[in-house]
A and B are shown apart, each in its own frame.
Chain A
Amino acid sequence: MTSNATPTYEERLAGFDWSISERELDYHPGDRINIGWYCSDRICAQGKGAKPALLWEDHQGTERTYTYDDLRLLSNTIAHYLRDLGLEAGERICLFLDRVPELYIGFVGILKMGGIAQPLFSAFGEESLHTRLANAGTAAIVTQRKHLGKVRKIRDQLPDLRYIIVVDAAQAPLQAKEVPLALDALTRVESLEVYRSTAETPSVLHYTSGTTGQPKGAQHVHYSLIAQYLTAKWVLDLRPDDIYWCNADPGWVTGTSYGIIGPWVNGVTQVVLDSGFNAERWYKFIEKYKVTVWYSAPTAIRLLMREGAELAHRSDLSSLRHLCSVGEPLNAEAVIWSRETFGLPFHDTFWQTETGCIVITNFPGMPVKPGSMGRPFPGITATVVDPRTFEPYTEPGRVGLIALKPGWPSMMRSYWKNPTAYEGKFRNGWYLCGDRSSIDKEGYFWFVGRDDDVINTGGHLVGPFEIESALLEHPAVAESAAVSKPDKINMEVVKAFVTLKPGFSPTVDLELEIMNTIRRRLSPLAMPQEIAFVDSLPKTRSGKIVRRVLRAQEWGEPIGDVSTLMEE
């Protein structure tokens, strides 16, 4: 549990100003600010060079330890390597890696040489990868041999891509544009001219899905550090002696904001398990490394619940002192279960790719209302607004759109090459998150659902347009619609409705073939968990497919106004 010395939420709120963070980081407006330097060199300059920054383990039990001095030197080495290739500040450098050390260290190295880090989930298929690399005009991709097949399939369609950097090439034959990066074999670079970035210098590009169009790149800047530092310290309650574990993959924003930047700018030791889910292994991992702070996700918690409390009790989990969760609403049952099983509640946190940092949260020490998202982080003005007027609701309990007053340090600065979509996120002076919620009398937010057709599956947003486009490329598919359907573990999963072209019959084999096609081309997350073969899809009189009717059927909700639908 949090100690008595931890300030209360109200104490944090009183007189809050983001300059608190600036002062703690010795940053003054106008100074240089480089996230990579803050996460490595600055910690070493504080005399903590010998402290472990990363304790890493893979599914086979291979272990690696990297101190902060290792992190400083190896990120210097990667930055130097990238510059030697001719890569320049401002260029997008993609990290397409499993959770190997090169991913974490490479992220820091890219920022130190002035590049824009573009982490992508390594389970993405070639089409998802191509969409994001083409939009970003990515200059280099850092990857592993096991993912080279996907990269090779699309490299010739990416004119901006100059280098494919392979971290485990060993003696494997490489092809055009491919170069090896054997980090252990390179001479460590002691001294590096860190790129002289300032507050508004672009730092990270994370892609996120919307209802329409292809995924958009939320572009962040180095000044985001100010928010990521303080939210990691106050919400995750990170302290110098903590052993911190974030389950998120850095292909998603949680895995960078709080799986790299947050712990390391705070000089905390973090652990990484490069492994798929296995409940027993997870508990043994916590026991082995004496994890104190654990940032997980509702889907993972529900999987652990399914395995039962007895399994948890077989490991010594007494090191845990603070638990947080992110990605989707944390159901009350999960909070109650964690209290009973670990003696600690999971604290739900709410934020998104665009916000860059936690914006609504259950603060340490604050009474947790199971099922609530919590209250706004100090410095964040959050409310719910009327969906028609975009004026804030003043009475408690009314469901409206979650809206944030722009201006916190880690807010995205734009969508890459898509200013129109960026501007579309603002109404009446508010940034709209795309989620619906109410606020109770005590100021706690209660999540209701998305305000659009985006599917939140296992804490990851999947855009229906991307899935439908891929479905239409299958030779059997005439029309398609992708919507969410309820799921006990992942909250929502993708369900596709498909009409077939003449000559094709709805069979289990065809369903399986379509599922696997989407999984390979896009990602496992985007793969429909169910495909319904139908004779027709609901459409407006102008012929536009109406997903909301299908979604309502799946969720058992009222279908709403159907007067504009075409009659079949």
Chain B
Amino acid sequence: MDDLQRVIRDYVVKEYLEEGDDREVTETTPIISGGIVDSFSMVSLKRFLERKYEIQIPDADASPAAFDTVASIAALVVRFQKKA
């Protein structure tokens, strides 16, 4: 897990895992289909990424599939960092 993935993972664990939920989150853990982050909460995760990495992720690219793992989110961030 690289630094970017670690930051995303840590944020997901801190913000979205409930207290007492001891599931391990790795770069491939399904976080949307696995029920950790729902489609409504995705908006706050997107907002966090946009602020932290000074990027804009268009809604069309912020699909549940694109946000389903730490690895796919990190890839999305890298993609839009390059565009910025």
Contact = CB atoms under 8 A, between A and B. Distances in A.
Interface of A: 59-60, 98, 123, 145-150, 274-281, 303, 306-307, 457-458, 488-490, 493, 508-509, 511-512, 515-516, 519, 524-525, 527, 529
B2 interface: no
B32 A277 contact: yes
Contacts of B51: 508-509, 512
24 contacts: A59-B34, A145-B20, A146-B21, A147-B18, A149-B19, A149-B20, A149-B21, A150-B18, A276-B30, A276-B34, A276-B64, A277-B39, A278-B32, A278-B64, A278-B65, A279-B65, A303-B39, A458-B39, A488-B59, A508-B47, A512-B44, A519-B40, A525-B40, A527-B43
B41 interface: yes
A488 B39 CA distance: 13
B30 A278 contact: yes
Q: Kindly list the 10 A-B residue pairs having the minimum CB-CB distance in the complex, ordered from nearest.
A: A149-B19, A278-B33, A524-B40, A146-B21, A149-B20, A524-B41, A276-B35, A276-B33, A508-B51, A515-B44
- Most B C-beta atoms less than 10 A away, residue of A146, A148, A457, A458: A146
Contacts of B63: 306-307
Interface string B19-63: 111010000001011111111110110011001000000010001
B10 interface: no
B67 to A, nearest CB: 10
Given A149-B20, A511-B47, 19 more contacts: A98-B35, A146-B20, A148-B20, A276-B30, A276-B38, A277-B32, A277-B38, A278-B33, A279-B65, A303-B64, A458-B39, A489-B39, A512-B44, A512-B47, A515-B44, A515-B47, A516-B44, A519-B44, A524-B41
Contacts of A488: 59
Contacts of A489: 39
Contacts of A123: 38
Contacts of A457: 40
Contacts of A307: 63, 65
B37 to A, nearest CB: 8
Nearest to A514: B44
Contacts of B37: 276
Contacts of B34: 59-60, 275-276
B18 to A, nearest CB: 5
A278 B68 contact: yes
Contacts of A303: 39, 64
A527 B33 contact: no
Nearest to A494: B40
Contacts of B21: 145-146, 149
Contacts of A508: 47, 51
- Most B C-beta atoms less than 10 A away, residue of A277, A303, A458: A277
B19 A519 contact: no
Contact of A150 (B15, B19, B23, B38): B19
B64 A275 contact: no
A457 B43 CA distance: 14
B35 A275 contact: yes
Given A149-B18, A149-B19, A306-B63, A59 B38 contact: no
A527 B44 contact: yes
Contacts of B19: 149-150
A427 to B, nearest CB: 34
Given A146-B21, A147-B18, A150-B18, A281 B33 contact: yes
A512 B48 contact: yes
Contacts of B39: 276-277, 303, 458, 489
B18 A275 contact: no
B20 A276 contact: no
Nearest to A520: B15
B34 to A, nearest CB: 5
A515 B40 CA distance: 11
A519 B15 CA distance: 10
Contacts of A149: 18-21
Given A278-B65, A303-B64, A59 B40 contact: no
A515 B39 CA distance: 14
B61 to A, nearest CB: 11
B40 A516 contact: no
B8 to A, nearest CB: 15
A529 B43 contact: yes
- Most A C-beta atoms less than 10 A away, residue of B18, B23, B36, B59: B18
Contacts of A280: 65
A458 B35 contact: no
Contacts of B32: 276-278
Contact of B40 (A60, A275, A527): A527
